[in-house]
Structure 1
Amino acid sequence: MRRNTTVFALALLLAGNGVFAQTKDSLIVKSIVEEATNNSQLQKLAHELLDGIGPRLVGTPQMKQANDWAVAKYQSWGITAKNEQWGEWRGWERGITHIDMVYPRVKTLEGMQLAWSPSTAGKTVTAELVIIPDLADSVAFKQWLPAVKGKFVMISMSQPTGRPDYNWDEFATKESAEKMKKDRAAQVTAWSNRISKTGYTGRTLPPVLEKAGAVGVVMSNWSNGFGVNKIFGAYTTKVPTIDIALEDYGLLYRLVEDGTNPKISVRADSKELGLVPTFNTIAEIKGTEKPNEYVMLSAHFDSWDGGTGATDNGTGTLTMMEAMRILKKIYPNPKRTILVGHWGSEEQGLNGSRAFVEDHPEIVKNIQVLFNQDNGTGRVVNLSGQGFLHAYDYLGRWLSKVPADIRNQVETRFPGAPGGGGSDFASFVAVGAPAFSLSSISWSYGTYTWHTNRDTYDKIVFDDVRSNAILTAILAYMASEDPATTSREKSVLPVNPRTGAPGTWPAQTKATRKGGVN
């Protein structure tokens, strides 16, 4: 009788604990949603970071300014934060780029120097343009090469249309659209062959032109949408490399082709700053019961600098900062330590996060989970198990607490396959830490904002980013509270259909600690 009474009392206690936990979860989740909805700081943070500081190219003063801004912002919320140096990079600062056609008429052109492009040394350089010709082979190219001396050299194909394909598909006749696409494909092939016959590639050609006496390299890296170009880095070391918008590039190209011999003037102001230190920004809400176990939030902080890095990865950064702010206010004493990593130099090969993995094995081995966001402003709609066999168990349990209007949009795939790259979660997956990508709906990300000159504040969809901050905060709360430690057991990967060999887990890659130098 006494034994039965004891068992009954214990059952009541356990049931009571379960009800208490469910009630606590409901209250915390409700408070997270209310704080994110009624006191959102997203637009203020976005304005300060994107409009005030701007793009965050690794090695620039703006990147360090952003690191310092984030530390100060976290500290203002009562969250411990620091900048942690992981390497050095070529220091460079963008200046004004001004490009004008001065013959056969005057027209200011839309364009900019590429990242790390040399300057024009405080002068305006005026010269004719030439196009890489279609020559027989590399011998003929070497014979032609002296013709570039004193000229700007155009190295990109002139696009046959500035209208994206969806515009053609909507308005053109079927025959017209198909003809355009066929002709364009043939033109792309012909241009690729033209460059190949020089004996060089798009990467190795600019230094050759520079050495031969060209005063600058001119290109147009169209991103297949209205008014949008990709802006990456220059490969010249003494003369500027500039990208010109499709419309103006096509104008210049046609004038060169018809023998008009157009001239442009270019002033490109930039500064070389030598090797500069580069940092990750790390913030922490200390755990109370398991302080040496970690729930990590993750987003790269750096960007290319054609725009202001708003959706790549300003929105991921804002999601994690807002989630941390909310957690500190609603859940100030987590069971596990909640960390956030704002990584440097993701764009050059996940370098900041790879360095963190190398430098902090004591943290990495005790990561309960890591959530990374890095593919645009859209609401999260995909979550893969990254090859972890039991990810469905804990991710499924945590997701069940997320409000239905957010949860029901998230498609899960278990166990999934381990990501070998793409963004910073892969740095952790490679060493077996349970790290996951919160993948967003497109909003035409690949065409219009990914690495482009149009990746700016006005492209942010704040309702979607707020949804992501709520999702992230709830998942972090649930992961911190979970009595169980997450499993790291890996699934058996399928045979590679191309090689017939068994699938293998991605290997750890070391960070580049000194970048942008020869």
Structure 2
Amino acid sequence: MFRPLLTLTGGLIATLAVTAAQAKPLSQEDLSVAEVLRDRALESSDAYSIVESLTVEVGPRRAGTEGDRRAVAWAQEKMKKLGFDRVYTEQIDVQRWHRGHAHAEVVAPFPQPLVVTSLGYSAPTPEGGLSAEIVEFSDVEALIKAPAKKVKGKIAFINKRMERARTGEGYGPAVQGRSRGMRAAAEKGAAALLLRSVGTDSDRFAHTGMMSIDGVENPVPALALSAPDANLLEAMLERGKPVEVKLDVHNERLADGPSFNVIGEITGREKPEEAMIIGAHLDSWDEGTGALDDGAGVAILMETARLIAELPQRPRRTLRVVLFGAEEIGLVGAKQYVDAHRGELDNIIAVSESDFGAGKIWRFDTRLPENKFDIADQMMQVLAPLGIERGNNQSSGGPDSSVFVAQGVPAFGLYQDGTDYFDYHHTPNDTLDKVDPGNLKQNVAAWVVMSFLAAEMEEDLGRVPTEN
């Protein structure tokens, strides 16, 4: 349940214009510039050209791989061509892993193949594979509560369906099986883990993703099943006979290695030491080309910065675009960025992130002190014509941004329609054809309004409460 701070109608927008002019946190001149930027964004196809370039010229870019290294070089070159004042990298340390093949098949009582993919950093099977009976659990909590004798030597099968929602709110409950399932299976002596893919599609694609692996003494192979194949196993089990599955998985943990956060700045004209950070993550999983997750976010932010850089003067503060590395394996780039810059966090006026595909933005959330709500209300004057409504004051800004918010940095959240996002998320189907150019323009229009006004305003936004 969302608790809207304000829902704007035509009459209310006019009323806000008067009250906002009295409060003057943002000048009418700045609001007019934001309107111009918004309208320019709606006419430009450059963001689509950027995500097309990333997916074609780089492709998959899992952290610590050759694709990741190509992406870092691509991002630096692209930022320089787009007119950023400063472009640089900061090294981060990442765990590395090689994905080999993953095969699964039912061997009894109804032999047939299954479509699976290894979850990130999964262990291999013994040479020649393994065969075992499967035991089904409704969710990871049921597996955790199960007696070890029920699981030992068997393949634990977590059969939790994800609910479709515009907000993507079904992801949190479903992803627990992926993040915690292998650990629970290993602790109970299971031979392996099978997981209904964390997704909302009915396609025969399996969804990969990261698991909790640190400190697991005896990791076991962990695979995601496509939704139709999870349905198939469910139907077989309903017939009352033991179901035996064979797995053959070749993966390998590698030595830790480097990756990078790539950072580009439009330097502030008056307060260059202060920054509005807008982020996306540069890495992707290796099954698709990472067009939605998070190539679209990378393109949206690069185009946002390009439009602001073309203004006659720089904004008052620095606009800093951070393309975080290794987000997919645990927000590694964001965590290491905050650790490296703890003494400078008070100079970050706010943070926000684009990491939910390329659907049309429909809601504007914040995480601000209450005495700063009028600034968000003024931003809404320029955002509302894009079909965006006011949301709540509970935003984390995005996955990577949440690391900053935990340290008291305010946040803005521009939330996209994610109704079909988890149809493609972490699958081979995450490709450029899923990106709608018109929706991408609307995204840039919203981002350029929020980013410019945050960087340009005279006041700062204070700090927000941190979690203890």
TM-score, L = length of structure 2: 0.73
Aligned CA distance change for structure 1 residues 39 and 133 (closer, same or farther; 3 Å): closer
Shift of 1:393: 2.3
**RMSD over aligned Cα, in angstroms?**
4.1
Residue number in structure 2 paired with 1:441: 417
Contact 1:103 1:264 in 2 (8 A): no
Q: Does 1:244 align with 2:244?
A: no
Residue number in structure 1 paired with 2:208: 231
Shift of 1:112: 1.4
Aligned CA distance change for structure 1 residues 119 and 458 (closer, same or farther; 3 Å): farther
Q: Distance in 2 between matches of 1:262 and 1:295?
A: 55
Q: Distance in 1 between matches of 2:113 and 2:313?
A: 55
Aligned CA distance change for structure 1 residues 59 and 364 (closer, same or farther; 3 Å): same
Residue number in structure 2 paired with 1:507: 467
Q: Distance in 2 between matches of 1:292 and 1:139?
A: 56
Of 426, 431, 456 in structure 1, the residue corresponding to residue 402 of structure 2 is: 426
* Superposition map of 1:7-46 within 5 A: 26=32, 29-30=35-36, 33-34=39-40, 36-46=41-51
Secondary structure (helix, strand or coil) at the match of 2:315 reads coil
* Superposition map of 1:320-469 within 5 A: 320-330=301-311, 333-361=314-342, 363-402=344-383, 405-406=385-386, 408-413=387-392, 416-417=393-394, 419=396, 423-445=399-421, 447-451=422-426, 454-469=429-444
Q: Does 1:203 align with 2:183?
A: yes
Contact 1:296 1:371 in 2 (8 A): yes
Q: Tell me, which stretches of 5 or more residues in structure 2 are unaligned?
A: 1-23, 138-142, 166-173
Residue number in structure 1 paired with 2:120: 115
Aligned CA distance change for structure 1 residues 437 and 305 (closer, same or farther; 3 Å): farther
Aligned CA distance change for structure 1 residues 53 and 101 (closer, same or farther; 3 Å): farther
Q: Does 1:84 align with 2:63?
A: no
Greater relative contact order: 1 or 2 (C-alpha under 8 angstroms, separation 6 or more)?
2
TM-score, L = length of structure 1: 0.67
Contact 1:334 1:480 in 2 (8 A): yes
Aligned CA distance change for structure 1 residues 329 and 102 (closer, same or farther; 3 Å): farther
Shift of 1:208: 5.3
Aligned CA distance change for structure 1 residues 217 and 409 (closer, same or farther; 3 Å): closer
Aligned residues with identical type, % of pairs: 25
Secondary structure (helix, strand or coil) at the match of 2:301 reads helix
Aligned CA distance change for structure 1 residues 241 and 425 (closer, same or farther; 3 Å): closer
Residue number in structure 1 paired with 2:99: 94
Secondary structure (helix, strand or coil) at the match of 1:487 reads coil
Q: Distance in 2 between matches of 1:348 and 1:97?
A: 20
Contact 1:368 1:485 in 2 (8 A): no
Q: Does 1:470 align with 2:445?
A: yes
Contact 2:207 2:226 in 1 (8 A): no
Contact 2:37 2:308 in 1 (8 A): no
Secondary structure (helix, strand or coil) at the match of 1:204 reads helix
Q: Distance in 1 between matches of 2:417 and 2:234?
A: 37
Residue number in structure 2 paired with 1:66: 71
Q: Name which of structure 1's ranges 23-32 and 338-347 shifts more when overlaid on structure 2.
A: 23-32
Q: Distance in 1 between matches of 2:76 and 2:277?
A: 17
Deviation per residue, 1:122-165 (Å, 9 max, x gap):
x7x355441238999747448xx4xx4xxxx4321568xx9989
* Superposition map of 1:154-169 within 5 A: 154-156=155-157
Secondary structure (helix, strand or coil) at the match of 1:400 reads helix
Q: Distance in 2 between matches of 1:364 and 1:344?
A: 19
Q: Tell me, which stretches of 5 or more residues in structure 1 are unaligned?
A: 1-17, 167-187, 193-199, 491-504, 509-518
